[in-house]
Structure 1
Amino acid sequence: MAQQTATATFDENVIAPDTGKPMPKTETWRFMIGFIIFGVMWMMSGTIGSNVLFPERFNGLGIGQPEAILATMNSVGSVFALVSNLVFGALSDHCHSRFGKRTPFIVVGGFICGAAFWSTSVATTLPMIVASWCVLQIGLNCMLAPAVAVLSDRIPLNKRGTLSAFYGGGATAGQSVGTIIGTQFLSNPVPGFVIGTVSWLLTGILAIIIWPREKSAALADGEKKEELNLVSLLKMFVPPTKNCRNFYLALVGRLLLIFGYFCVNGYQLYILEKYIGLPVAEAGAVLSSMSVVIMVVSLISSLTSGAISDKIGARKPIIAVATLLIAVGIAAPWILKSVMGMYGFALLAGLGYGIYSSVDQALNVDVLPSKEEAGKDLGILNIANTIGQILGPIVTSSIVVATGSYFMAFPVAIVLVVVGFVFIALIKGVK
């Protein structure tokens, strides 16, 4: 009875949803380390292949234009990413494994990614390349959707921004680390592919080993397992329809923010070459330096901003600062058509995106209509991330084709980012 009374006096913001108790510091540190390693490893593994070694390998395959191969691989793969994120988020919500709801998916997803990554690296035909990459996207989202749902399942509200920041900062840093590692193996890619494969295999299992063990989700004796038929399966994937105003505002806001950022971020090399006017070798050197700048400022800003968000108990002011920095960063090369303008983009927009990434997932968890369907609903919110990264380059390329210049891509990107924040600002009940 005394224990019940003591527990009842705890502020609900400090209570871990899965245990009903405050989270000890040792567990907090284990989640921090696990989230940052998970973020770094999955993004690093993917970047080694898709951004560096695969494009270079496609140059020598002789099965078609390398750009077309890469575009086909990524565009078809993105469809599988969209669907599988939602599917595995929903399936993990209803999992009754003795190892927990999320753990089996996170571990298995890593193994699938490793096998598919290696298959992509040795494939010699377009169908096999695309098929292998699509399987990798299935494995990746088998990990991602349940891993992000851990923030809702197990992390107290007062630590959610910090943990979200460690995941977002890790993923941002992983992209730069993957680029740096991949470029070391351009002349001899096989060791690079081995590193990517092993990294994929270990990504999920390392996170699970580091995190505190998830409690069993097995049904208790006498508890009936829900019947699965076509109707119940379809209901598992229905988007939220009740108490979901904030959810959809966050969805649209996230989509537009990422959309605007990637209008420029996805075309940095071409902007350096065709807008600034640098030769290929010099553009590559500048891009490499920009990657380091983005990695450093994003990592520092994301880790500090997440802690600040938890300290002040608010997400919107942090996102407002991030929006301003991203918008000014995008404006830098628009106003200063020079290498310095692009470094301004790397510094300011990279800083802003790191700040935004620090509270992005925390905000998403805060607006969930149902904690019981966190995996599915976070999967829907994560679709905005994928679609934004796809639409950004498409819109920029359309502007270039229509106008013959990158000039108008910058103001369009700024408007998208600002309007994205407007939608987030309209969210009620979340500071």
Structure 2
Amino acid sequence: MSQVVQPASGTGTLSKTNRVRFCIAFFVFSFCWMLALQVVAAVLLPQRLADIAPDSKDAIFGVLNSATALASLISNLVVGNLSDRTRSVFGRRTPWIASGGILAGITLFGVGVLPNGFLIGVSYCLAMVGLNMMIAPIIASLSDRVPESMRGTMSAFISAGTLFGSALGQIVGARFITMQLPGFIVSGVVMALSGVLAVLFWPKEDSSKDMPKTEGSLKDLLVSFRPPTKGARDFWLAFAGRSLLLFSYYMILNYQLYILQDYIGQSVEDSAVTISTMSLVLMVVSLISALSAGPISDKIGRRKIPVVIASILLAIGYALPWLMQSPLGMILFSAIGGFGYGMYGSVDQALNVDVLPNEEEAGKDLGILNIATTLGQMVGPIVTSAIVVATGSYQLVFPTAIVLVALACVFIMMIKKVK
């Protein structure tokens, strides 16, 4: 099936079959990579660190998260740009997606079998490179293959897959918390499948061999990585809002196992049970919010209303474990905060595409916007780690997250290009 003609400007159309195939591809891809990553990042890796370095696990985990986020930041930007310039019989995006899945799957499995922290860190960083070899071109395809009137719906399927995968990944990870190697095997296989399944499900991408080639020197290639400046006010407001919102979310999400064990006082076994409960709750609420808010946003032609509601729900979710130092507080965080995050995620990528200053450079510019995700993964854990090291408690983590999500909402509301 052929590629859609000029969808980025909103003039293209999708057949019913292609709409279904894109929805399935976006959901399956997001579900698989997030499930695989969360098995490791949310449960198995922090528990392994707690086993081998109980006195310094917070600091080591913060360093690992920061290193992998930096690797994601660089690879997302580079691959986004290079996929714009790729000319092959398989199209611009497909070769990166398929090869990235294989690299990410092998190296994510390596995290569970390598013998020391340095090699674990190297393999984890390579896994993030492979992951972003898939994410950058997949998100860029929203601009060059999906009409503007359907981006909210497609963004909703991306968000739903991500949130469903995150929840189920934590459940799977909790099952393997005392028997870790099989869990690493599962995560590696599922990560490798994410890219392969994406390109099998979505409509075949047209060859890019006949597209005009981007000629130039190495200097021209390096210059092409420059961030957008002309007409880019809304672009940078979206970047700031997304970064701050994700800072707040990852401050708690990446430390939920330690919060349950060190802040609330649960044992390893009890914390695994609580994470499973939180994940089941998150799975239900995120699917409801993500799959409803995106299509509603398309129907009413507005992106900001879901963001405001999502920010309020996230702030409430952050406040509950702060005020209720109990497993119930964290479960309610998953319920209310998870609903809010699903609502935000359902319009997130659609909003990002809508504020692009130059759709011809969608891969590169969306790569820059996706840096906000890696900054959130990097800075959020650093902030949490710094607060815990400085105060010896998680008490200040929650109000800090509330302030950050409020600021995020302010920045997004200042965007003029979208309603």
Report the TM-score when normalising by structure 2: 0.92
SS in 1 for 2:160: helix
The residue type paired with residue 323 of structure 2 is I
Cα separation, 1, equivalents of 2:360 and 2:135: 18
- Counterparts of residues 381-396 of structure 1 (less than 5 Å): 381-396=369-384
- Counterparts of residues 139-178 of structure 1 (less than 5 Å): 139-178=130-169
Over alpha carbons, which structure has the higher Rg? 1
Report 1 or 2 for greater relative contact order, CA contacts < 8 Å, sequence distance ≥ 6. Answer: 2
Q: Give 1:60 deviation, angstroms.
A: 6.7
- Contact kept? 2:312, 2:340, Cα under 8 Å: yes
Q: Once structures 1 and 2 are overlaid, which stretch shifts more, 172-181 or 272-281?
A: 272-281
- Contact kept? 2:27, 2:160, Cα under 8 Å: yes
Aligned position for 1:415: 403
Q: Once structures 1 and 2 are overlaid, which stretch shifts more, 267-276 or 327-336?
A: 267-276
The residue type paired with residue 409 of structure 1 is V
Aligned position for 1:5: none
Cα separation, 2, equivalents of 1:403 and 1:368: 41
Cα separation, 2, equivalents of 1:156 and 1:316: 19
The residue type paired with residue 181 of structure 1 is V
What per-residue deviation string (whole Å, max 9, x for no partner) do you get for residues 375-410 of structure 1? 111111111111112222222333334344333322
In the superposition, relative to structure 1, how do residues 420 and 57 fare at CA in structure 2: closer, same or farther (>3 Å)? Answer: closer
SS in 2 for 1:127: helix
Aligned position for 1:104: 95
Q: Give 1:66 deviation, angstroms.
A: 6.0
Cα separation, 1, equivalents of 2:297 and 2:146: 15
Cα separation, 1, equivalents of 2:128 and 2:236: 25
What per-residue deviation string (whole Å, max 9, x for no partner) do you get for residues 212-252 of structure 1? 111111126xx6x3323221111221100111000000000
Stretches of structure 1 lacking an aligned partner (at least 5 in a row): 1-13
1:335 equivalent to 2:326? Answer: no
Find 2:219's aligned residue among 193, 215, 231.
231
1:16 equivalent to 2:7? Answer: yes
Cα separation, 2, equivalents of 1:72 and 1:420: 25
How many residues align structurally?
A: 415
The residue type paired with residue 316 of structure 1 is K
Q: Give 1:68 deviation, angstroms.
A: 6.0
In the superposition, relative to structure 1, how do residues 269 and 113 fare at CA in structure 2: closer, same or farther (>3 Å)? Answer: closer
- Contact kept? 1:77, 1:134, Cα under 8 Å: yes
- Identity over aligned pairs, percent: 48
In the superposition, relative to structure 1, how do residues 323 and 265 fare at CA in structure 2: closer, same or farther (>3 Å)? Answer: same
In the superposition, relative to structure 1, how do residues 57 and 323 fare at CA in structure 2: closer, same or farther (>3 Å)? Answer: closer
Cα separation, 1, equivalents of 2:42 and 2:282: 16
Cα separation, 2, equivalents of 1:301 and 1:373: 31
Aligned position for 1:123: 114
The residue type paired with residue 151 of structure 1 is L
Q: Give 1:15 deviation, angstroms.
A: 7.0
- Contact kept? 1:18, 1:154, Cα under 8 Å: no
SS in 2 for 1:121: coil
Find 1:307's aligned residue among 283, 286, 295.
295
1:318 equivalent to 2:295? Answer: no
Aligned position for 1:262: 250
- Contact kept? 2:174, 2:275, Cα under 8 Å: no
Aligned position for 1:35: 26
In the superposition, relative to structure 1, how do residues 327 and 136 fare at CA in structure 2: closer, same or farther (>3 Å)? Answer: same
1:287 equivalent to 2:275? Answer: yes
- Contact kept? 1:15, 1:157, Cα under 8 Å: no
- Counterparts of residues 31-70 of structure 1 (less than 5 Å): 31-57=22-48, 70=61
- Contact kept? 1:46, 1:178, Cα under 8 Å: yes
In the superposition, relative to structure 1, how do residues 88 and 428 fare at CA in structure 2: closer, same or farther (>3 Å)? Answer: same
What per-residue deviation string (whole Å, max 9, x for no partner) do you get for residues 150-197 of structure 1? 111111111101100111111111112122223333444443333222
In the superposition, relative to structure 1, how do residues 121 and 340 fare at CA in structure 2: closer, same or farther (>3 Å)? Answer: closer
Q: Once structures 1 and 2 are overlaid, which stretch shifts more, 88-97 or 182-191?
A: 182-191
Report the TM-score when normalising by structure 1: 0.89
1:374 equivalent to 2:365? Answer: no
Cα separation, 1, equivalents of 2:233 and 2:170: 39
Stretches of structure 2 lacking an aligned partner (at least 5 in a row): none
Q: Give 1:18 deviation, angstroms.
A: 9.2
